[in-house]
Amino acid sequence: MTKRIFNFSSGPAILPEPVLEQAQRDLYALPGVGMSVLEISHRSTTFEQIINEAEADLRLLLGIPENYKVLFLQGGASLQFSMVPMNLLPKGASADYILTGSWGQGALKEARKLGRAREASSTAATNFNRLPGPEESDLDANAAYLHFTSNETIFGVEFQEEPIVGDVPLVCDMSSNFISKPIDVTKYGLIYAGAQKNAGPAGATIVIVRNDLLERVPEGLPSMLDYRNGSRYNTPPCFSIYICGLVFKWLLNEVGGLKKIYVKNAEKARILYDAIDASDGYYRGHAEKDCRSLMNVTFRLPSEELEKIFVKEATSHGLDGLNGHRSVGGIRASIYNAFPLAGVTSLVEFMQDFERKNG
């Protein structure tokens, strides 16, 4: 079999090896079915079982209560930028957005095409290297919802706790730290996440929404964009959902749940941030220490030229996907759930060696 390298991509991203191995076996024929998951009807009992099991396992993993719906949709997190206001922002009402990076900005931009949406706070002035304090936020107590991005993938800034919102429903773009740690789902009105970081391959978008919020959905929405139509209004991304299901089983049965994966994630991130901090300024972390992401570790080198050489040499050492997002530059190491500790220690060794040679 071809050798695998360390994949630091921000998404689509690394998947657990046991999941890839099982998918490879099932791709030819599902046991007892004689057909691949790629070939069966989305209305078949086999697929019904696959999607129901994926939902049940996700409910178990995250502790999702009965009064929340779980949806597997399409269109990525980007379509949720529009579906959230279409479904949850009634005419005449206003929604609040906390901006801690480009994805939150994108969500606000789309919401404003559909209704009234306010910037409740933003850390754009410091190039999104931190989270706004409660005193910097101008929250509307009557907002239809408050939207925030729990982990800004590009800047590497992660909320350590949910913003305090009183009775305003909290809507969260959880794309890049979904199922990376335990959360209290009851604090949220709606959670959405593109699958392609921690949950599975690109194609599925997971939405978890509290039932009472669906009473707001206006009549006359395009059917495909109406949350009430569930996961199988049309042909869903069957393969992506199937892999998400395998990832949930991996987390439940092999890792032992979200508390366990959180400990592993925290340890991987600590090792990398310690290496950055120990370099006496050769490597400079982008995010302030108290809001550093456990998923996307962003840092700079003394010059852009050195950053280019760093990425190129790292790639030739089997450390792939380390260049920062095109809008900010620098280095970004994405170390999602499935990323192995050995890859982090390899990167740290490479960083130390690179500094010795180029410092």
Closest by CA to 97, choosing from 80, 119, 112, is 119
| Cβ atoms 241, 50 nearer than 8 A | yes
- Please report how many Cα atoms fall inside a 13 Å half-sphere around the Cα of residue 166, on the Cβ side: 8
Active site members? 103, 173, 197
Distance CA 47, CA 26 (A): 13
Shortest approach of ligand PMP to residue 103 CB, angstroms? 4
Shortest approach of ligand PMP to residue 294 CB, angstroms? 14
Shortest approach of ligand PMP to residue 191 CB, angstroms? 12
Paired residues of 335 in beta bridges: none
Distance CA 61, CA 50 (A): 16
Shortest approach of ligand PMP to residue 323 CB, angstroms? 14
Query: Quick one: 103 or 339, whose CB is closer to ligand PMP?
Result: 103
| Cβ atoms 137, 143 nearer than 8 A | no
What tokens does 232 get?
Answer: 């199988």
What tokens does 287 get?
Answer: 């995010």
Binding site for ligand PMP (CB under 6 A): 11, 76-78, 103, 149, 153, 173, 175-176, 194
Shortest approach of ligand PMP to residue 334 CB, angstroms? 10
Query: Quick one: 80 or 121, whose CB is closer to ligand PMP?
Result: 80
Query: Quick one: 194 or 324, whose CB is closer to ligand PMP?
Result: 194
| Cβ atoms 175, 153 nearer than 8 A | yes
Query: Quick one: 157 or 275, whose CB is closer to ligand PMP?
Result: 157
What tokens does 235 get?
Answer: 């042909």
Shortest approach of ligand PMP to residue 336 CB, angstroms? 11
Alpha-carbon dihedral of residues 162, 167, 169, 175, nearest 10 degrees?
A: 0
CB-closest chain residue to ligand PMP: 76
Query: Quick one: 181 or 355, whose CB is closer to ligand PMP?
Result: 181
Query: Quick one: 83 or 139, whose CB is closer to ligand PMP?
Result: 83
- Within 76-159, strands assigned E span 94-99, 116-122, 146-149, 151-152, 157-158
SS3 content of the chain, % helix, strand, coil (to 5): 40, 15, 45
What tokens does 228 get?
Answer: 């009430």
